[in-house]
Amino acid sequence: MTDQEQFADRVSVHASNVGGIDEDELTLAPGVTVLEGRNATNRTSFLQAIMAGLGSERSSLKGDADEGRVELTIGEETYTRTLTREGSETIYGGDPFLEDPQIADLFAFLLENNEARRAVERGDDLREIIMRPVDTADIEAEITDLEREKQRIDGQIEEYEQLEGELPSLETDRTELEEELEAARAERERVAEEIEAADVSLQESRSQKREIEEAFDRLREARSELEDLEFELEAERTTLEDLRQEREELREQIEESEQYDDDPERLAGRIEELRERQRALNETLSQLGSVISFNEEMLEGNGLELSDADLAGDGGTERVTERLIDAGTETVCWTCGSTVDADRIEETVDRLRELRTEKLSERSDLQERINDLTSRRSEIERAERERERTRRRLEDLEEEIESTRERIAELEESIADQEATVADLESETENVGGEYDDVLELHREANELDLRIERLESDLEGVKEGIEEREEAAAQHEELLDRREEITEELAELRTRVDRIERESVESFNEHMASVLEALEYGNIDRVWIERKTREVREGRRKVEKSAFDLQIVRVAEDGSSYRDSIDHLSESEREVIGLVFALAGYLVHEVYEQLPFMLLDSLEAIDSDRIARVVEYFEEFADYLVVALLPEDAEAVSERAAQTRRF
């Protein structure tokens, strides 16, 4: 089933013990789904249930439950998410839609505490949010692999180009050898005819003739064997020279190879320490997320079991939320049971959010250090493996050199013996002629021509093989050139991927922000955009340049003049809209819609109804399923665009 087919149908959500929900279910139609209701009616909890089914771990377990569950049915597939309380932690299990929810938590689940929205509100460096899903360590490893392949291909191309350069010379050699071979065969045929003519007069001495022929056959075989030995000796000497040259090159490589002070085992220990700290941070972040979500829901009224409360002293017959509203700024702390100022609880939650942001930054720093140390350890281990391979090759070379020397000595001795054998056979042929010296001379000439023809045929065959090899190299050369071009393009794409994502993120945000501002008609805001800057920062002992995304705002004064302003001076409504548009830019740049055609919106109360309707209209273009939680008065403005409305 294709993605388009999969998401053409309705999506069923069944949740129990999530947020403030005991048990509830809803079927989502493609398009806009409005969750309409007042505060503390579990609209946010239902959004959290959808998040959980899709894979998020930022959903909370109901306060009085030890287990929660979400079932999400899309087409014929059903996905599950379980939430289990273990002490103060919530453990997430099941088989959700996404294996890794990080990118969705950042750019698709746009609830009140969404990091992308809050980063805009706080004026943080927006680059860290946009670039978090990009695995730069994986990109660097891919670049290294491609560079090695390109280096290998460059060596092959150089070798093939050298072979191709030899092709014209070999073709000339082939022509010359063919002509020389043809002349030698013609000469051999002439000598054979003379021998045949001379044989007519030698019919009476057939035994003498056989003796002559046998003597020349032995001489020819001896000379052929001598040539073979000499050829083998030359090949062994060439091999010896090549082995010596390779040995020198390997020795130079060992001398020039970089020596590292760091020990891979020590680095591995350090990496494991950092990972332990990272795991501890993850646990802390999970706990903080649960605490923050719980307190946010309690502040809104979600999750409170109020039916048995007797805060009014009337036996619990009056709604506690009404009593809290009437009480103004005081409420009952659900932690200690005392009456406290509601603002103090909100301040505590804000401090918890700030602490979570600090921990997230610390986790990001830890990941960078882990990546750096991992790359360093891999580099050292690769270098050590390369040196070890070089040492083993040197040892093998020494054995090969010694073996080649011994073989050369044996060949030199065999050649000396064979030269003596040839000399004896030459003397023998000189003594078998007698009165047939002229015939013997013809046989000697025929013998020499036979050897010459054999040598020319062998040389010609070698040249033909060389030509064939170079013609094959020419074909492979073209393939290697094509592959090198592909690698060059891949390397260029990888090296610019981070830069491209940064550039596209900025362009996407600026484009969408301009469109949204125009649609929402914020008359006193002329322009909001991200400016991409480069800053020098220190990493360990070195300084490196890193990009930063700064939010820029231009306002329009009453007299029509423009001036720059900061995010701190924007209204809550303006900050909320800019935060939403920033998250949308991340949704588009990272192509979240390819793996998750859902977008969830919540906490839009700071934006007036008309503008909420325009925001929903703008966002629905980019997600197959847009689920938005709204107050009744705001839902009315969106009702015409909604595929369905669920009242809570």
What pLDDT is attached to residue 306? 37
How many Å from the N-terminal Cα to the C-terminal Cα in the chain?
34
Residue 331's pLDDT band, with cuts at 50, 70 and 90, is: low
Mean pLDDT of 225-246: 88
Mean pLDDT of 580-589: 83
Q: Is the pLDDT of residue 634 over 70?
A: yes
Q: What is the pLDDT of residues 521-571, one digit of tens each?
A: 777 778 888 888 877 766 555 565 677 888 888 888 777 788 888 777 777
Per-position DSSP letters for 116-170, written without gaps between them: HHHHHHHT--HHHHHHTT--HHHHHHHHHHHHHHHHHHHHHHHHHHHHHHHHHHH
What pLDDT is attached to residue 316? 41
642: tokens are 């909604």
Residue 164's pLDDT band, with cuts at 50, 70 and 90, is: low
Averaged confidence pLDDT in the chain:
79
CB 160 within 8 A of CB 473: yes
Residue 481's pLDDT band, with cuts at 50, 70 and 90, is: confident
Q: Is the pLDDT of residue 448 over 90?
A: no
| Residue 84 buriedness (CB in 10 A; 0-12 / 13-18 / 19+) | middle
What pLDDT is attached to residue 72? 94
% pLDDT > 70, the chain = 83
Strand order in the sheet with 562-565: 525-539, 542-556, 562-565
What pLDDT is attached to residue 81? 95
Q: Is the pLDDT of residue 332 over 60?
A: no
Mean pLDDT of 91-99: 93
Closest CA to 439 of 195, 191, 193: 195
Rounded-to-integer distance, Cα 500 and Cα 497, Å:
5
Mean pLDDT: which of 20-24, 134-138, 299-303 is highest? 20-24
Give the Cα-Cα-Cα angle 135, 139, 143 (nearest 5 degrees).
170
Eight-state DSSP code of residue 593: G
What pLDDT is attached to residue 319? 40
More confident residue, 458 or 315: 458
Mean pLDDT of 623-628: 92
What pLDDT is attached to residue 295? 73
Q: What is the pLDDT of residues 174-226, one digit of tens each?
A: 888 888 888 888 888 888 887 777 654 544 455 566 666 777 778 778 888 88
Rounded-to-integer distance, Cα 587 and Cα 622, Å:
9
Mean pLDDT: which of 77-81, 87-91, 278-282, 294-298 is highest? 77-81
CB 562 within 8 A of CB 138: no
> Which residues, other chains included, contact 149 with Cβ-Cβ below 8 Å and sequence gap of 6+?
487
Residue 438's pLDDT band, with cuts at 50, 70 and 90, is: low
Rounded-to-integer distance, Cα 571 and Cα 272, Å:
46
Rounded-to-integer distance, Cα 553 and Cα 265, Å:
51
Mean pLDDT of 619-639: 90
Closest CA to 82 of 110, 105, 106, 59: 59
What pLDDT is attached to residue 430? 67
Mean pLDDT of 382-398: 85
Q: What is the pLDDT of residues 285-326, one digit of tens each?
A: 777 777 776 776 666 554 444 334 444 444 443 443 344 344
- Choice among 1-5, 45-49, 333-337, 434-438 with the minimum mean pLDDT: 1-5
What pLDDT is attached to residue 521? 78
Mean pLDDT of 508-525: 78
**Measured CA distances, 170 to 56, 273, 455, 470, 557 (Å):** 69, 64, 17, 10, 83
Per-position DSSP letters for 494-561, written without gaps between them: HHHHHHHHHHHHHHHHHHHHHHHHHHHT-TTEEEEEEEEEEEEEEETTEEEEEEEEEEEEEEE-TTS-
Topology of domain 3-133+521-647, CATH: Rossmann fold (3.40.50)
Whether the pTM exceeds 0.75: the reply is no
How much of the chain is helix, strand and coil, in % rounded to 5?
A: 65, 15, 20
Eight-state DSSP code of residue 314: S
Rounded-to-integer distance, Cα 40 and Cα 466, Å:
85
95: helix, coil or strand? coil
Q: Is the pLDDT of residue 470 over 80?
A: no
**Bridge-based pairing state of the strands 330-332 and 339-341:** antiparallel
Q: What sign has the CA pseudo-torsion 586, 589, 590, 594?
A: positive
What pLDDT is attached to residue 537? 63
Closest CA to 615 of 587, 579, 588: 579
Please give the backbone phi and psi of residue 93, each rounded to the nearest 5 degrees, phi first: -140, -160
